[in-house]
Structure formats: structure tokens, C-alpha cells
Copies of this chain bind each other. A is one copy, B any other.
Amino acid sequence: MSWSFSNDKPIFQQLEERIVLEIISGRYEPGSKLEPVRELAMTAGVNPNTMQRALADIENTGIIYTKRGDGRYITENTEIINEIRNRYVLKKTEDFIASVKALGLDEDGIVKAVREALEQGG
């Protein structure tokens, strides 16, 4: 079962987002080893070169690093993971706020909507 991709963005970017999301969601422990590129590529149903590019990009953020001849590992530096997670949360939050502000909610209304949804869901 391959992953699904939209056509409005390059596949390697979608790979990056998905993999980073899995890391910051806790799917991998800090310091643990990633699957080999070829395996990840097969799982995702993409060309290994595409997966390679995505992982190289992710590596630039410091959230993963490579041991030559061994494989890729998640950083043990939880600071980095937390920072990226915070950035992601901030983006999600800003997007959410923008979308409901467009519907006329003011700031109090937004906080209230979140509180109510939490009470109902919890």
C-alpha cells in the first residue's frame, strides 16, 4: 500500500512533511534508527532517489543524522525535536486561527470555540 500524494506540491516535499511529522509525533524514539532508504522508498511507493532527497533535506534541519556505512538515526537532541514540533504546532494554530477569523470570529470567540470543543471531546 503506497502513500498518497497530491499534485500541487513536489512529492519529495510531501515525503519530508510526512516523515518529519512522524518523528515529532513520537513514532520514532530519539536516537533510534530509521529504516533504510530503499525500504522507506518502497513503502512509500516512490523512487529511492526521491526518498534520498527528502531525507537529505530533513537532515539539514538537524532532526536526523547519518552514520556513514550504518544508516540514519533520529537525533538524541530533544531540543531540536521540540523546536520543530513547536514550529509545527504554531503553524497549525495560525492556520486554524486564520480560517475561523475569516468566518467572523473574534479572539474571544476563538478561545471559546476551542474550550467548548475540548469539553465536548473530553
Contacts and interface: CB of A to CB of B under 8 A. Distances in A.
A118 interface: yes
Nearest to A26: B104
A29 to B, nearest CB: 13
Contacts of A8: 4, 6
A115 B97 CA distance: 10
Interface stretch (A34-42, A65-73, A83-91): A83-91
Give the copy number: 4
A117 to B, nearest CB: 4
Q: Is the contact region of chain A dominated by helix, strand, or loop, or is it mixed? A: helix
A92 interface: yes
Contacts of A25: 102-104
A94 interface: yes
A105 B122 CA distance: 14
Contacts of A103: 24-25, 85, 88-89
Interface of A: 4, 6-8, 24-26, 85, 88-90, 92-94, 96-97, 99-100, 102-105, 107, 110-111, 113-115, 117-118, 121-122
24 contacts: A4-B8, A6-B7, A6-B8, A24-B103, A25-B104, A85-B103, A85-B104, A89-B100, A89-B103, A89-B113, A92-B96, A92-B99, A92-B100, A93-B100, A93-B114, A93-B117, A94-B117, A94-B121, A96-B96, A96-B114, A97-B121, A107-B118, A107-B122, A114-B114
